[in-house]
Structure 1
Amino acid sequence: MSKKQPVLFIGHGNPMNAISDNSFTKSLKKISENIEKPEAILVISAHWQTRGTSITASDNPRQIYDFYGFPEDLYRVVYNPKGKKELSSYIVKALNEVDTTVIGVDYWGLDHGSWAVLTHIYPEADIPVLQLSLDAGLDEKSHYELGKKLSFLRDMGVLVIGSGNIVHNLKEMGRETYSEPHPWAVEFDRYISESIIAGKHEKLISYKKAGECSELSLPTDEHYLPLLYIAAMQNEGEKVEFLFDEIHHSSLSMRCLKIG
């Protein structure tokens, strides 16, 4: 019987982190040291938005370089784990039984929200990886509730990872990695992190009530939504551990956390 898995939220930031050696990537390399090797990994990535919810359903998912204009070295990164079509079908069936429609698809694979972080956490690529899309038609509460419905995966030995950023404003990025963070970025990152620690999930769901700092931190919501899935999987009494908490390029919160 596989041991129950924790859940992770990874602030993935700049795609260049896939080939960078910095404080953030060093922190990623340590994560697997304190987690029993999972049976499989399910990533909820900010970079796959769909109508309706989809899940990859291939035993050999392709690697997607979903960015342009970066150095050639980034396009040479190869991360090709197996998928697990059988598990994908099981998830689809389980969710359909609770009146949640999810479809398995083979046109997608693993975008950089998955492979750019997993290449540091599990560099051997020897664990099957699936990816779940974000339904662009759902509101925040519905994303959170879907996360709750997926929590059974933890007991199956599946490591669920949300990959996005709590603060993600590309228009306000500083040129350097360690450019001074914008005050509103610091404010919103603190607001969310304190809400997570306090277990105040309603504040996470209604994050827009934080005011101007939320508007500036998240001009769009796709990088934030994976956090709601991860928070929803927290069981009563489970502790939250922040694995990394820096803000890079002035407007990218690289905060990473583990629950359980």
Structure 2
Amino acid sequence: MIPSYFFAHGAPSIVLEDNDYTKLLKQFKDNTPQPKAIVLFSAHWEEAVQTVGAAKAYETIYDFGGFQDELYQMTYPAQSDRALADQIQHLFTRYGIESVRNEVRGLDHGAWAVLKLLYPDADIPVVALSVNRHLSNEQQYEIGKALSELREQDVLIIGSGGTVHNLRGLNWASEGIDGWAEQFDSWIQDKLETWDTEALFQYRELAPYAREAVPTNEHFIPLLLAMGTGDAGRNAKLLHRSYQYGNLSLSCWQFN
């Protein structure tokens, strides 16, 4: 059974960077069985109803401004897998999760920046999935759990977001790490590794510096979605964690 993953996508410029985190992503395909398809939840696609992307050929969305010109020339022309999209909607229905299909939306940078590092040839079908910040943390987990059987079919499930993601709190000139960011991530690490969902679902009340780390939850949601896909095995492994700009976390979690 193929593991599922959470990847922090950081700033859009991550796709141009050369550091320990991007090296991990670039080497991912060499250390992981080739998936037949990828299912990806992006923090940058928010919908009130769970939406399943099924564009025949995804356009590349440049949902950012002020970055290097090179980024706006990049494309990631992946195609969807409509049979897999059908199966995903069937699974959602089985779990009582309402869903709709979108056959025109492209891939935002939360999706393509990560995928371009993981699978630069864009030769694996991708089904993009939205997130909904208004659901409970338990509901987020259940959405991931609904898709867990896809892992048995060599489908790679990815949540793309960020555990510490406070753009107003970034220090663009900093080369250090803010202690509050590390304390929050360390608390999250403990709850993931012990699979303490009861505490994790209450992270905003229980975790240190939760308000600073997660001022809005759309980037945290993909972690819960990816975790839910690993409910059967309940094994979480931290593959990488580093920080940019003082507190923007770059982390990778594997769920089995």
Counterpart residue identity of residue 67, structure 2: F
In the alignment, what sits opposite 1:198?
194
Asked if 2 retains the 8 angstrom alpha-carbon contact of 1:147 and 1:233, the reply is yes
SS at match of 2:129: strand
In structure 2, what is the Cα distance between the partners aligned to 1:115 and 1:257?
Answer: 19
3-state DSSP class of the match of 2:176?
coil
Correspondence for 1:17: 14
Instruction: Show the counterpart of 1:223.
Output: 219
| Cα RMSD, aligned residues only | 1.5
Matched, 1:159 2:147: no
Structure 2: stretches of 5+ with no match in the other structure: none
Match of 2:100 in 1: 103
Aligned residue for 1:61? 58
Count of residue pairs brought into register by the alignment? 256
Q: Aligned match of 2:139 in 121, 124, 142?
A: 142
Work out whether residues 183 and 208 of structure 2, in 8 Å CA contact, stay in contact via their aligned partners in 1: no
Cross-structure match for 2:165: 168
Residue 87 of structure 2 aligns to a residue whose secondary structure is helix
AA in 1 matched with 2:245: H
Distance in 1 (CA, whole Å) between partners of 2:238 and 2:126 is 24
Partner of 1:73: 70
SS in 1 for 2:45: strand
Partner-residue secondary structure (3-state), 2:209: helix
Q: How far apart, CA to CA, are the structure 2 residues paired with 1:35 and 1:211? A: 32
1:94 is aligned to 91
Contact 1:11 1:163 in 2 (8 A): yes
- Residues 36-55 of structure 1 aligned to structure 2 (within 5 Å): 36-55=33-52
Give, in whole Å, the separation in 1 of the partners of 2:47 and 2:136: 14
TM-score by length of 1: 0.93
- For 2:240, the equivalent position in structure 1 comes to 244
> Distance between the aligned counterparts of 2:73 and 2:20, measured in 1?
22
Establish whether residue 126 from structure 1 lines up as the match of residue 123 from structure 2: yes
Name the residue aligned to 1:185.
181
Q: Quick one: which amino acid aligns to residue 113 of structure 1? A: G
AA matched with 2:227: A
Q: Deviations for 1:200-246, whole angstroms, at most 9, x for unmatched residues?
A: 12222211123550001011000000000111122455543322111
Q: Take 2:59 and 2:223, find their aligned partners in 1: how far apart are those partners?
A: 25
Distance in 2 of aligned mates of 1:207 and 1:224: 11
Q: Are the equivalent residues in 2 in contact too, given 1:52–1:136 (CA < 8 A)?
A: no
TM-score norm. by structure 2 comes to: 0.95
User: Contact conserved, 2:58 with 2:80, CA < 8 A, in 1?
Assistant: yes
* Whole-angstrom CA distance in 2 between matches of 1:110 and 1:38: 19
- Provide, for residues 109-141 of structure 1, a one-character-per-residue CA deviation record: whole Å limited to 9, x for no partner: 211111101111111111001111012331211
Q: What is the alpha-carbon distance in structure 2 between the residues aligned to residue 127 and residue 179 of structure 1?
A: 36
Query: Aligned pair in 2 of structure 1 residues 69, 32: CA closer, same or farther (>3 Å)?
Result: same
Shift of the alpha carbon at 1:34?
A: 2.3
Give structure 1 stretches of 5+ with no counterpart: none
| Aligned counterparts of 1:64 and 1:6: Cα–Cα separation in 2 | 28
Please tell me whether the aligned partners of residues 53 and 102 of structure 1 are also in contact (alpha carbons under 8 angstroms): yes
CA contact (8 A) 1:185 1:213 kept: yes
Q: Percent identity?
A: 34
**Aligned partners of 2:207 and 2:235: how far apart in 1?**
28
